[in-house]
Amino acid sequence: MKKYFDSVTRGICMKKMITLALCLALFSTCIPGCGNTGGGAGQDAATLGTDTDSIKTGESSAGTVSSDEDVTTLSFWYINTDGMESYMPDGFVERFQAACPQYKLEITAVPGSAADFETKFNSAKMSSTLPDLCYLTLTSFASLGTRGEFLSLNDQVSTWDEKEDFLDASLDMGKIGGEYTGIGVAPAPVMLAYRTDMFEAAGISPENPPANWEELEECALKLTIKDDGGNVVQAGLDIPSIDYYLNVSQPFMLMNGATVVDEANAVPMLDEPEVIETLEYLYNLYSQGITLPHDWQKRETIPFMNGIGAMSFISVDNFNQLLVDHPELEGKVRMAPPVSNKTSAAFCGYRLLAATAGTEQAEGVWDLIQFFVSSDEMARRIDYGVIPVRTSIQDYYVETVPDIGQTILDTVAVGKGAFVVPWVSMLYKYYGPAYESVMQGMATPAAAMAEAQQQILAEIGQ
Amino acid sequence: MKKKNSHNDLVGYAMIAPYYLFLFLFILVPVGVNLFMSFTDYNLNTMNFVGISNYLRLFRDPILKKSVVNTLLYTVITLASTISCGLLVAILITQTGRLIPVFRTFVFLPYVVSMASASMIWLWIYEPGYGLLNAILKVFNLPMQSWIYDVKLALICVSVVSFWKLLGYNMVMYTSGLLGIPQHLYEAAKIDGANALHRFRYITLPMLRPTTFFLLVTGFINNFNVFEQVKILTNGGPVNSTTTVMHQIYNRGFVDYQFGYASAITVLMMIVVSIITAVNFKFGSKGHDLDLS
């Protein structure tokens, strides 16, 4: 009997021990989720640009700043798009560390689209893992910079002896509140591209692309081809149905002498007559059926990029990518000089360098910026088609890109990118649907722009 | 006995504790934080208490009103089509046939594809210049359409994508329900002279009421959360004709950095979905409790 009770007791103890072990095992699965994963900038550097070279980072933990006795770590976020202006030449990290041995550089490739970049930036901010320096688009710079996310470089740039070698636009683009906050280092212009074979088929000389609005309309009508059912099979000129970031409508407005946004006073001017006239012109073209509906932000939807458009305002990136995707178009596509109406203008995005407001390595960041924009480094990027902002090496750029180099530089000279105002997201939010309502024929340009103007003013509290 | 029960209770609580800890930390706490944020003007940099001004703004926001209308329209279109067609397809596949399993697989396959991937595919299908749909229309000499770029068609296009994806799931649920209906009810009805329509109306539909109720409740909740296909296909356009409540929450929070207002919209959505779910439970759960033994 005693043996029986002993075995039962041992069984009960065993049961308790197994139960306890299972409970501990279950609780232990919760522990990794509560741990600090450290760092936050996330991805390792990836292949950038059209070259297959990759970038070597220092350590694996990006997004944190630390220093030991002799070496200070600088973290650098670099937008990773497939555009050439995002290209980072091979060996950049080694060259910088050789030139500035007191620093160790960690580069992280981050998403290139404005929305994705800002999401990542905000996540890093909330986890206190922001980098020291960012290489980002003008759209993101405007959105984040006007919220005070970047350090003022006014003292450094104002006394910089190399400042005179830079395009005025590249430095002015980076001003927030009148202070230099970012440095524009790579323009991303949008230019009129056209198919020479389609021009010839329509009886238009490819040597004389349209230079003003009248010629543009004339060419667009001649180049449009429709089938028996009236469906457009070849678009004469790509006018987007959706132009959320004003990539196409803004340059037309500027060509017409419009202000669009008074950046100095931070007020919208969507209801000015020049803006309305511009939309009337664009709607007139659109309603004549010279285009196919598309979203300019989605490259794959642009008719010109799919070989069914004769003329289109596209970025130099897209132009280069078209030639990569369709090598048979070599020699059949060109980019035209800036079109004008009352004045010459173009959309010209930028990639900028900006130091995050919380960086503890302001001196190191400035050293990195100076290295990045040095003549040598800029010349290396020219070899891969990156447009320089230093006037001293523009001749080298024209030699490297003889066909369209000068045309691109002329466009950059008259180019204007995203507006740098605190409420720039409101501009896109209300202008986008207003533009779409005009193109859909649901509202007149005057009514649509008046409503958008009022909505923006109401939202920004004016 | 009391001591043994107490011991078992402790073990039970220990076993379910991880789940409830997860529920508390990742569901209840965020809901509470969200509720708190809805009374502030949090924009990632500053947070000031603003009282109920975010809630008052809900009623003045024309885009939010449009998004609520769009969401309701989308829900009605998608639910009505997926439930009715899901039932029809389920009835068809309960027939015998060698190809029925293959058909069932193909109908269910879209459900396992991620919505983001599906939306990318449909973006190509809807493409006006070279998309599949317009290519088919062209073959039949029909006028090509702008599809997602047309303000009149965009919401229907988004609904079609959801219908294509969810049909298989509803089919599977109804198939399960149909197989649970005793056959002797149909046999008895046949003997009494009921035709196919009568049998469907007086036997099949009532017996499927619990399944329909489940699909309605979960469908309402899921459709009110629609976001991926809207973001990828149309981004709420053209002219806000496809923006939904969830899309507005995303835009207000992560594009405009108005987290306080976005939180208020979230609270509003929670209340609306709760009311609809409660109504469904009240009127939809009254099943016919037949003693089928």
User: In the structure, what pLDDT confidence band is assigned to residue A89 with cuts at 50, 70 and 90?
Assistant: confident
Contact B22 A27 (CB under 8 A): no
The angle formed by the CA atoms of residues B35, B40 and B43, to the nearest 5 degrees, is: 110
Give the B window 170-229 contacts with A, CB below 8 Å.
none
Tell whether B255 is within 8 A of chain A (Cβ): yes
Supply the pLDDT for residue A79.
84
Contacts of A228 in chain B (CB under 8 A): 141
Residue the block writes with tokens 């009127």 = B283
Using DSSP bridges, classify how beta strands A179-180 and A175-176 pair: parallel, antiparallel or unpaired.
Answer: antiparallel
CB-nearest to B128 from A115, A292, A440 is A292
Supply the pLDDT for residue B280.
79
Contact A122 B44 (CB under 8 A): yes
**Is the predicted pLDDT of residue A48 greater than 70, yes or no?**
no
Supply the pLDDT for residue B290.
52
CB atoms inside a 10 Å sphere around CB A412? 24
Supply the pLDDT for residue A9.
62
**Is the predicted pLDDT of residue B221 greater than 80, yes or no?**
yes
Contact A308 B130 (CB under 8 A): yes
Supply the pLDDT for residue A70.
79
Residue B3: is it exposed, middle or buried by C-beta count within 10 angstroms (0-12/13-18/19+)?
A: exposed
The whole-angstrom separation of Cα A204 and Cα A200 is 5
User: In the structure, what pLDDT confidence band is assigned to residue A20 with cuts at 50, 70 and 90?
Assistant: confident
Contacts of A231 in chain B (CB under 8 A): 134, 138, 143-144
Contact of A188 with A316, CB cutoff 8 Å: yes
**Is the predicted pLDDT of residue A54 greater than 50, yes or no?**
no
* A137-162 confidence digits (pLDDT tens): 998 999 899 889 999 999 999 999 99
Contact of A93 with A58, CB cutoff 8 Å: yes
* A291-321 confidence digits (pLDDT tens): 999 999 888 899 999 999 999 999 888 898 8
* A233-291 confidence digits (pLDDT tens): 999 999 999 998 899 999 999 999 999 999 988 999 999 999 999 999 999 999 999 99
User: In the structure, what pLDDT confidence band is assigned to residue A45 with cuts at 50, 70 and 90?
Assistant: very low
What sign does the dihedral B95-B99-B103-B106 (CA atoms) show?
positive
Contacts of A125 in chain B (CB under 8 A): 44
Taking chain B, what is the end-to-end CA distance rounded to the nearest angstrom? 38
Contact of A278 with A258, CB cutoff 8 Å: yes
Q: What is the arithmetic mean of pLDDT over A120-129?
A: 90
Q: What is the arithmetic mean of pLDDT over B258-271?
A: 94
Helix (H) or strand (E) holding B99: none
Supply the pLDDT for residue A50.
32
For residue A441, give the amino acid letter. Answer: G
Of residues A181 and A46, which shows the higher confidence score? A181
User: In the structure, what pLDDT confidence band is assigned to residue A113 with cuts at 50, 70 and 90?
Assistant: confident
Of residues B269 and A6, which shows the higher confidence score? B269
This prediction has a pTM of 0.82
Supply the pLDDT for residue A39.
37
Supply the pLDDT for residue A42.
34
* A225-239 confidence digits (pLDDT tens): 999 888 999 999 999
The whole-angstrom separation of Cα B13 and Cα B22 is 14
Give the B window 40-79 contacts with A, CB below 8 Å.
43-45
**Is the predicted pLDDT of residue A55 greater than 50, yes or no?**
no
Q: Is the ipTM of this complex over 0.85?
A: no
> Which of A21-35, A86-100, B263-277 shows the highest mean pLDDT?
B263-277
Q: Which residues contact A394 (CB under 8 A, 6 or more apart)?
A: A388, A409
Q: What is the arithmetic mean of pLDDT over A35-62?
A: 35
**Is the predicted pLDDT of residue B244 greater than 60, yes or no?**
yes
Supply the pLDDT for residue A298.
86
Q: Which of A326-330, B43-47, B83-87, B261-265 has the lowest mean pLDDT?
A: B43-47
Contact A426 B256 (CB under 8 A): yes
Report the gap between the CA of A396 and the closest CA in chain B (Å): 40
Q: What is the arithmetic mean of pLDDT over B163-170?
A: 96
CB atoms inside a 10 Å sphere around CB B112? 9
Contact A425 B127 (CB under 8 A): no
**Is the predicted pLDDT of residue A51 greater than 60, yes or no?**
no
Supply the pLDDT for residue A46.
32
Q: Which of A9-13, A132-136, B250-254 has the lowest mean pLDDT?
A: A9-13
Q: What is the arithmetic mean of pLDDT over A410-433?
A: 91
Supply the pLDDT for residue A61.
35
Tell whether B257 is within 8 A of chain A (Cβ): yes
Tell whether B16 is within 8 A of chain A (Cβ): no
Q: What is the arithmetic mean of pLDDT over A187-191?
A: 92
Contacts of B239 in chain A (CB under 8 A): 433, 436-437, 440, 442
Contact B129 A294 (CB under 8 A): yes
Q: What's the Cα-to-Cα distance from A135 to each of A75, A185, B41, B93, rounded to whole Å?
A: 11, 9, 29, 57
**Probe site for chain B from A126, A291, A301 (most B CB atoms < 10 A):** A301
Query: Each residue of A85-117: b (16+ CB within 10 Å) or e?
Result: bbbbbbebbebbbeebeebbbbbbbbbbebbeb
Q: What is the arithmetic mean of pLDDT over A8-12?
A: 64
**Is the predicted pLDDT of residue A178 greater than 90, yes or no?**
no
Contact B18 A27 (CB under 8 A): yes
Contact B256 A118 (CB under 8 A): no
Supply the pLDDT for residue A84.
57
Tell me what the pLDDT averaged over chain A comes to.
86
Supply the pLDDT for residue A34.
55
* B3-50 confidence digits (pLDDT tens): 556 777 888 999 999 999 999 999 999 999 999 999 999 988 889 999
Nearest chain B Cα to A303, which residue?
Answer: B129
**Probe site for chain A from B124, B149, B261 (most A CB atoms < 10 A):** B149
In chain A, the percentage of residues whose pLDDT exceeds 70 is: 87
Contact of A382 with A400, CB cutoff 8 Å: yes
Q: What is the arithmetic mean of pLDDT over B260-286?
A: 86
Tell whether B256 is within 8 A of chain A (Cβ): yes
Supply the pLDDT for residue A264.
86
Joined tokens for residue B221: 């909740």
